[in-house]
Amino acid sequence: MSTAESIDLAAATEHLQRTGQVQLVADWANSRAHSLHLAEGLSAEDQQVQSMPDASPTKWHLAHTTWFYETFILKPFAADYQAFDSGYGYLFNSYYEAAGARHPRPQRGLLTRPTLAQVHAYRDHVDRTLAALIGGAGVHPEVLRRVRLGINHEQQHQELMLSDIQHAFSLNPLKPAYQSRWPGPPARREPPQWRRLTAGMAEIGHHGVQFAFDNESPRHPVLIGEVEIASALVSERDWLTFIEAGGYRDPQWWMADGWAQVQKEGWEAPLYWQQRERQWRVFDLSGERELIAERPVAHVSWYEADAYARWSNARLPTEQEWECAASEPALSEQLEQLQTALWQWTSSAYAAYPGFRPSPGALGEYNGKFMCNQFVLRGGAHATPANHTRVSYRNFYYPHQRWQFAGVRLARDAQNRGD
């Protein structure tokens, strides 16, 4: 290779690296702006409230996503960085044991100080320093990797901001709307049909150079049997039939823990469904509304999803089946509401893939330590930020939790179908 060719190759490599850095900075800036956009219509009082221990105030989300950048990028990599407030590390740490002690999660709503204005000032302080760090030449590659992680972390909290404020507003007798024209998840175009997966050996898990969380790797082989998957999600009309058939009163459809939860909590319908004058009403981000027949039922727990599947003479897909269906080009084109409607419960316990090893240090706590007693959801929701999900994405929640944007897609073993 000639000297001229070497110089051209070096220049091209530098250009590609610089282009990627510019795009990363733009993605970061857009993500930071989007969090503030989601909170624009909320009052300071709205952003203070915490409606239950699982939820967090909007103000806390805005501060915590800022703490993430300050803790994992600025403090270790920015020379002479001065923390905005030394007490914020305690207030806005979430679950990172290696990062130090933290304020109790159920008491986040009690943090009237710092004020919302101070949280905004905190964001400005961190953003100015971080923009200068990542916008210049010679940035450490680990900084850029952590910025990409921070963007995806903040996107997760953007969805949580919506689910948490919906829960808080649902408890207000005035039933306020977050946005009166919030579109909600798309309705299905036609009744669901059974679609056959290709049986045999396949591979699942992340591959390629694009961002993915560590729990999506390593890629590994799986065996897919004779399985069919529903082309669309279970609808509100479908679920009403389940209710009217006594689904919440008949223990034969429920796992023992699920039936105990039904009895303990008095469940009669999905979260945010309420009967008024013998008519079911649903509360969502647009306020209270009538049922929409073909819109997918939302805010159901794994227990409810599993019970509905049993009642339907079907089952929930495994996460391996879901990913293979979504990855198969000809089949995925036949599946509605795949990643833009609701997260979809699977029958798979949230566990490590073969060969998984969490990263060392506090960032290694991001996913790995939660691989116990939870179930995997796949897909994505209408409240999920654009470009956040992919077919290998693994969301996870406890089986009793209902406040997230979760729905149901059915599967069945083809050789045992009840036609």
Token match 């004020």: residue? 115
111: tokens are 């943090």
Number of helices and strands in the chain (H, E): 11, 12
311: tokens are 């009642």
Under the banding of pLDDT at 50, 70 and 90, the label for residue 1 is: very low
Residue 4: predicted pLDDT? 42
Taking CB atoms within 8 Å and a gap of at least 24, the contacts of 177-184 are 177/285, 177/286, 177/287, 178/41, 178/42, 178/285, 178/286, 179/41, 179/285, 179/286, 180/286, 180/287, 181/286, 182/284, 182/285, 182/286, 183/382, 184/284, 184/285, 184/286, 184/292, 184/295, 184/382
Residue 36 · residue 59 · CB < 8 Å: no
Closest alpha carbon to 401 in 53, 49, 48: 53
State pLDDT tens for residues 332-361: 999 999 999 999 999 999 999 999 998 888
Under the banding of pLDDT at 50, 70 and 90, the label for residue 6 is: very low
**Residues 115-134: what's their mean pLDDT?**
98
| Euclidean distance between CA atoms 56 and 108, whole angstroms | 7
Helix axes 302-311, 256-265, angle to 10 degrees: 110
| Euclidean distance between CA atoms 335 and 337, whole angstroms | 7
Full set of structural domains in the chain with CATH: 3-170 (1.20.120), 194-416 (3.90.1580.10)
Residue 19: predicted pLDDT? 78
State pLDDT tens for residues 300-315: 999 999 999 999 999 9
Indicate whether 3 pLDDT > 50: no
Contacts of residue 203, defined as CB under 8 A and 6 or more positions apart, other chains included, come to 219, 220, 221, 222
**Residues 400-409: what's their mean pLDDT?**
98
Residue 8: predicted pLDDT? 64
State pLDDT tens for residues 40-64: 999 999 999 999 999 999 999 999 9
